A and B are shown apart, each in its own frame.
Chain A
Amino acid sequence: MRKCSLDSINKIFGKIAETNKLYLPVDGSDGVAVYTKWEEGKEWSNALNTVRSPKDFFFPQVENLMEFKTSGKNIELTDIREEAEDFVIFGVRACDVRSFDILDRVFLTDPVDSFYASRREHGVIVSVACSKPSETCFCQTFDNIDATNPLGDVTAWKTEDSVYFKANTEKGEAFMKKIESLTEECDDTAVAAEKDKIAAIMKKLPLKDLSADAFGGGKTDTFFNVPEWDELSATCLGCGTCTFVCPTCQCYDIKDFNTGNGVIRYRCWDSCMYSEFTKMAHGNNRLSQKERFRQRFMHKLVYYPENNEGIFGCVGCGRCLAKCPISMNIVKVMKKIGGKVNE
């Protein structure tokens, strides 16, 4: 374990930025943290998390896949893929680190999505423990997410005056090597104390008792036709906020953009909440908002675990709790239709 003083963290950022693009949460003009490319003068935000999740780094909202030129009856296809550059994402919280694993299980299973894979390979994730979890946090509901000791290539802890680092992977070791001269070896007393502090707060969180035990693979029949879906979805606006701020939502659309002198085929995030998500020439298999609403939650709580050894498609980051225009969210759904709070 190594540490540096909080005052000198910008030196570390400077060191990393010499060779890699470095992204970290920085407070924007409206005071809200956004993952921003670090440069001299940018300060690491104190905010718990960003509104937009870091899934963008591996699965950007818009990404060009290929280009076409057409002349007469002929089509010329250009593969525009480029190897991603090495980059570092700094300050990722435990929930978001976990979300990468959930995305990996989609994009890195055969056939591997090369766009995603390339960025994943070149990205180094420096996670940081959550010193001040918020009331909307419920990562404890899910297995393998530890806000006191997040995963990632490197784990960091930020205390009052210092930042501590521990490498977890080979990529992480390389990262540590790079910042070696700016950090000093230390024992883990301070980190242990920080962990205890966080653990104590976690025990006080209002959603600490939320349980997902009622859900999981093979529960389709249990939940699909419960009448509560009507009530829960009655006022859903059908916007895509929850899916777009969600770190694990991975549905996408592939569209063509005609530039006037060629066609760019791009992919962009899509939302199962949108009315035309499943619309086909011959009709739509999800006609009402209730069905679309149900799909989103069933996917996270039942379908995804069924295909992925019981792992839920939610990491409890609380973004949808904070951002849904009508404050409808996965916690309300879980409580209403299944997971009564463990008393």
Chain B
Amino acid sequence: MNKMEETLIPKIGVITDVRIDTPDIKTFRVVTPDGKKAFDHRPGQCAMLSIPGVGEAMFSITSSPTNTEFMEFSIKKCGCVTEWLHQAEVGQQITIRGPYGNPFPVDDVFAGKNLLFIAGGVGLAPLRSVINYCRHYRDRYGDIDIVYGSRSKDDLLDYKEIIEEWSNDAGVNVHLTIDNPQEGWDGHVGFVPNYVKELGFDTNKTAVLCGPPIMIKFTLDGLTSIGFDKTQIYTTLELRMKCGVGKCGRCNVGSKYVCKDGPVFRCDELEELPDEY
């Protein structure tokens, strides 16, 4: 039988590197068994990873599309699939399918703009892909500001990369914050929404938000209070997904399917959706 492509049937992937980022976040490098990248993707898109017998779950692809050798996923331990992944070792095979969802509009809307990235906790994971994409094509974008906050210093994802690479780039400003004072931390202390207001950005920027729902809500309020329009703000959503292609019905909010029409939404588009995400 000449078999049709079937999106539900995944490819095999191999974990080639496991990086411990924080006490509950690890970053996994995944390639196909013959050492190639499983598929091309755009910044902000997702992939379905699974372990047979454990389950399948959607993760944002953390590495930049400009990386042609492998994909990375920063994964926080919080459910059965992630728990299993956290005890996986290098060489472990998993299954991977994708890419799913729509990407950030990096090539049209973002082009030539000043960009403001705001992330909380593991919310940096989906943004890292965009940030690194923009850093790679540095000349296509204006100034880049990154506000990133976490519970503590130890919970900051990709800290090494942030300090050693992002902070040293020309035109890239990194603002880090942690929730509570901590020994050995001389940076800012406080929640992300407040920090954003304190920093008081110029409104000639396009903002990209990702983090826990409560952070998104307050940061959004903060940004609008300092003059940002909702059409200037993008975020990325997470809902339970099974198929990844807008058929299984789980991530349906209003007439949109987060897996297909999202996960990236402009905040004014989001406002049109019923409050169920």
Q: Flag whether B186 is at the interface (Cβ < 8 A).
A: no
Stretch at the interface among A5-13, A20-28, A73-81, A234-242: A73-81
A11 CA / B93 CA spacing, docked (Å): 56
A99 CA / B54 CA spacing, docked (Å): 34
A263 CA / B55 CA spacing, docked (Å): 11
A66 CA / B95 CA spacing, docked (Å): 12
Q: Flag whether A253 is at the interface (Cβ < 8 A).
A: yes
Q: Could you tell me if A253 and B242 are in contact, using CB atoms closer than 8 angstroms?
A: yes
Residue numbers in A under 8 Å from B62 (CB-CB): none
Given contacts A83-B1, A107-B247, A113-B247, contact A263 B53 (CB under 8 A): yes
Given contacts A74-B93, A77-B10, A251-B250, contact A111 B5 (CB under 8 A): yes
Q: Which of B243, B255, B276 touches A291 (beta carbons < 8 Å)?
A: B276
Q: Could you tell me if B3 and A79 are in contact, using CB atoms closer than 8 angstroms?
A: yes
Within 113-139 of B, Cβ neighbours of A (below 8 Å) are at: none
A81 CA / B2 CA spacing, docked (Å): 11
Q: Which of A79, A112, A114, A286 touches B276 (beta carbons < 8 Å)?
A: A286
A291 CA / B248 CA spacing, docked (Å): 18
Q: Could you tell me if B89 and A73 are in contact, using CB atoms closer than 8 angstroms?
A: yes
Q: Flag whether B190 is at the interface (Cβ < 8 A).
A: no
* CB of B217, distance to nearest CB on chain A (Å): 14
Q: Flag whether B78 is at the interface (Cβ < 8 A).
A: yes
Q: Could you tell me if A280 and B239 are in contact, using CB atoms closer than 8 angstroms?
A: yes
Residue numbers in A under 8 Å from B53 (CB-CB): 68, 70, 256, 258, 263
Q: Flag whether A208 is at the interface (Cβ < 8 A).
A: no
Residue numbers in A under 8 Å from B243 (CB-CB): 252, 254
Within 42-68 of B, Cβ neighbours of A (below 8 Å) are at: 52-56
* CB of A79, distance to nearest CB on chain B (Å): 6
Residue numbers in B under 8 Å from A115 (CB-CB): 6, 8
Q: Which of A81, A279, A304 touches B6 (beta carbons < 8 Å)?
A: A81
A282 CA / B122 CA spacing, docked (Å): 12
* CB of B274, distance to nearest CB on chain A (Å): 5
A117 CA / B4 CA spacing, docked (Å): 10
A307 CA / B252 CA spacing, docked (Å): 12
Q: Flag whether B245 is at the interface (Cβ < 8 A).
A: yes
Q: Flag whether A217 is at the interface (Cβ < 8 A).
A: yes
**Which residue in chain B gives the minimum CB-CB distance to A106?**
B247
**Which residue in chain A gives the minimum CB-CB distance to B277?**
A285
* CB of A65, distance to nearest CB on chain B (Å): 6
**Which residue in chain B gives the minimum CB-CB distance to A265?**
B52
Q: Flag whether B177 is at the interface (Cβ < 8 A).
A: no
Within 233-287 of A, Cβ neighbours of B (below 8 Å) are at: 250-256, 258, 263, 265, 267, 270, 272, 277-282, 285-286
Q: Could you tell me if A79 and B9 are in contact, using CB atoms closer than 8 angstroms?
A: yes
Given contacts A70-B52, A75-B95, A220-B274, contact A250 B249 (CB under 8 A): yes
Q: Which of B52, B239, B240, B277 touches A68 (beta carbons < 8 Å)?
A: B52
Hey, what's the 0/1 contact readout for B1-27 against A, CB within 8 Å counting as 1? Answer: 101111111101000000000000000
Q: Could you tell me if A282 and B78 are in contact, using CB atoms closer than 8 angstroms?
A: yes
Residue numbers in A under 8 Å from B35 (CB-CB): none
Q: Flag whether A306 is at the interface (Cβ < 8 A).
A: yes
Hey, what's the 0/1 contact readout for B223-257 against A, CB within 8 Å counting as 1? Answer: 00000000000000011101101011110111100
Q: Flag whether A302 is at the interface (Cβ < 8 A).
A: yes
Given contacts A111-B7, A256-B52, contact A295 B89 (CB under 8 A): no
**Which residue in chain A gives the minimum CB-CB distance to B33?**
A74
Q: Flag whether B91 is at the interface (Cβ < 8 A).
A: yes
Q: Flag whether B204 is at the interface (Cβ < 8 A).
A: no
Interface residue tally on A, bucketed by range: 35 or more
Residue numbers in A under 8 Å from B210 (CB-CB): none
Residue numbers in A under 8 Å from B272 (CB-CB): 220
Q: Flag whether B79 is at the interface (Cβ < 8 A).
A: yes
Q: Flag whether A293 is at the interface (Cβ < 8 A).
A: no
Q: Flag whether A231 is at the interface (Cβ < 8 A).
A: no
Q: Could you tell me if A111 and B245 are in contact, using CB atoms closer than 8 angstroms?
A: yes
A148 CA / B33 CA spacing, docked (Å): 58
A302 CA / B273 CA spacing, docked (Å): 12
Residue numbers in A under 8 Å from B5 (CB-CB): 111, 114
Residue numbers in B under 8 Å from A286 (CB-CB): 276
Q: Could you tell me if B54 and A256 are in contact, using CB atoms closer than 8 angstroms?
A: yes
Q: Could you tell me if A278 and B94 are in contact, using CB atoms closer than 8 angstroms?
A: no
A83 CA / B8 CA spacing, docked (Å): 17
Q: Flag whether B82 is at the interface (Cβ < 8 A).
A: yes
Q: Flag whether B92 is at the interface (Cβ < 8 A).
A: yes
Given contacts A256-B52, A285-B239, contact A272 B95 (CB under 8 A): no
Q: Flag whether A171 is at the interface (Cβ < 8 A).
A: no
A300 CA / B79 CA spacing, docked (Å): 32
A255 CA / B253 CA spacing, docked (Å): 22
Q: Could you tell me if B240 and A114 are in contact, using CB atoms closer than 8 angstroms?
A: no
Residue numbers in B under 8 Å from A265 (CB-CB): 52
A68 CA / B11 CA spacing, docked (Å): 12
Q: List 20 A-B contacts (CB under 8 A).
A: A65-B9, A77-B95, A82-B1, A114-B3, A114-B4, A115-B6, A220-B274, A224-B254, A252-B243, A254-B243, A256-B55, A256-B56, A270-B242, A272-B249, A278-B250, A282-B78, A285-B239, A285-B253, A295-B276, A298-B254
Given contacts A279-B240, A298-B254, 10 further A-B pairs with CB under 8 A are A70-B53, A75-B52, A77-B9, A81-B6, A82-B1, A220-B274, A252-B242, A270-B242, A278-B239, A307-B255
